[in-house]
Amino acid sequence: MVLDDPTAVLPEAGSSCSLEDYLALPDHTMDERIAEARVKLGATTLLLGHHYQRDEVIRFADATGDSYKLSRIATESDAKYIVFCGVHFMAESADILSHSGQQVILPDLNAGCSMADMAEISQVEACWEAIEALGLDGETIPLTYMNSTAAIKAFCGEKGGLVCTSSNARAAFEWAFERGKRILFLPDQHLGRNTGFEMGIPLNEMTVWDPWGLQGGQTKQSLAQSRIILWKGHCAVHQRFLPSHVDAVRAKYPGIQVIVHPECRFEVCQKADALGSTERLIALVEQAPEGQMFAVGTEIHLVNRMARRFAEQGKKVITLDDTGCLCTTMYRISPAHLAWALENLVEGRVVNRIQVRASVKRWARVALDRMLEVG
Sites of contact with ligand SF4 (CB under 6 A)? 87, 113-115, 147, 235, 237, 263, 299, 327, 329-330
User: In sequence order, what E strands does 179-236 have?
Assistant: 182-186, 206-209, 228-231
Q: Closest distance between ligand 13P and the C-beta of residue 365, in Å?
A: 19
Residue 278 interacts with, from ligand SF4, ligand 13P, none (CB under 5-8 Å by kind) = ligand 13P
Q: How far apart are CA 208 and CA 217, in angstroms?
A: 8
Decide: residue 129, CB within 10 A, 0-12 exposed, 13-18 middle, 19+ buried.
exposed
**Cα 111-168-70 angle, rounded to 5 deg:** 40
Q: Residue 157: CB partners within 8 Å, gap ≥ 6?
A: 362, 363, 364, 365, 366, 367, 368, 370
Q: Closest distance between ligand SF4 and the C-beta of residue 333, in Å?
A: 11
Q: Is 285 in the site for ligand 13P (CB under 6 A)?
A: no
Provide the 8-state DSSP code for 227: S
Q: Which residues inside 167-196 make contact with ligand 13P, applying CB under 6 A? A: none
Which of 77, 195, 277, 344 is the binder for ligand 13P (CB under 6 A)? Answer: 277
Q: How far apart are CA 218 and CA 203, in angstroms?
A: 15
- CB nearer to ligand 13P: pick between 241 and 363: 241
Q: How far apart are CA 276 and CA 298, in angstroms?
A: 10
Which of 53, 165, 189, 352 is the binder for ligand 13P (CB under 6 A)? Answer: 165
Which of 67, 144, 195, 226 is the binder for ligand 13P (CB under 6 A)? Answer: 67
Q: How many C-beta atoms surround the C-beta of residue 259 within 10 A?
A: 23
Which of 46, 186, 235, 295 is the binder for ligand 13P (CB under 6 A)? Answer: 235
- CB nearer to ligand SF4: pick between 64 and 226: 64
Q: Closest distance between ligand SF4 and the C-beta of residue 325, in Å?
A: 8
Q: How far apart are CA 127 and CA 120, in angstroms?
A: 11
Residue 114 interacts with, from ligand 13P, ligand SF4, none (CB under 5-8 Å by kind) = ligand SF4
Residue 277 interacts with, from ligand 13P, ligand SF4, none (CB under 5-8 Å by kind) = ligand 13P
State how far the alpha carbon of 247 is from the alpha carbons of 229, 287, 307, in Å: 30, 24, 21
- CB nearer to ligand 13P: pick between 37 and 156: 156
Stretch 85-124: interaction string toward ligand 13P, x if CB under 6 A: ----------------------------------------
- CB nearer to ligand SF4: pick between 10 and 106: 106
Residue 343 interacts with, from ligand 13P, ligand SF4, none (CB under 5-8 Å by kind) = none
State how far the alpha carbon of 271 is from the alpha carbons of 154, 225, 229, 236, 280, in Å: 36, 28, 24, 20, 18
H/E run at residue 45: strand 45-50
- CB nearer to ligand 13P: pick between 24 and 146: 146
Strands 353-354 and 316-319: unpaired
**Cα 174-168-147 angle, rounded to 5 deg:** 115
- CB nearer to ligand 13P: pick between 51 and 361: 51
Q: Is 166 in the site for ligand 13P (CB under 6 A)?
A: yes
- CB nearer to ligand SF4: pick between 45 and 166: 166
Applying CB under 6 A, the span of 61-69, 121-129, 213-221, 288-296 interacting with ligand 13P comes to: 61-69
Q: Helices in 60-120 by DSSP H: which ranges?
A: 67-76, 88-97
Number of H helices, E strands in the chain: 16, 14
Q: Closest distance between ligand 13P and the C-beta of residue 165, in Å?
A: 5
- CB nearer to ligand SF4: pick between 37 and 237: 237
Q: Which spans of this chain sit near ligand 13P (rule: CB under 6 A)? A: 51, 66-68, 147, 165-166, 235, 261, 263, 277-278
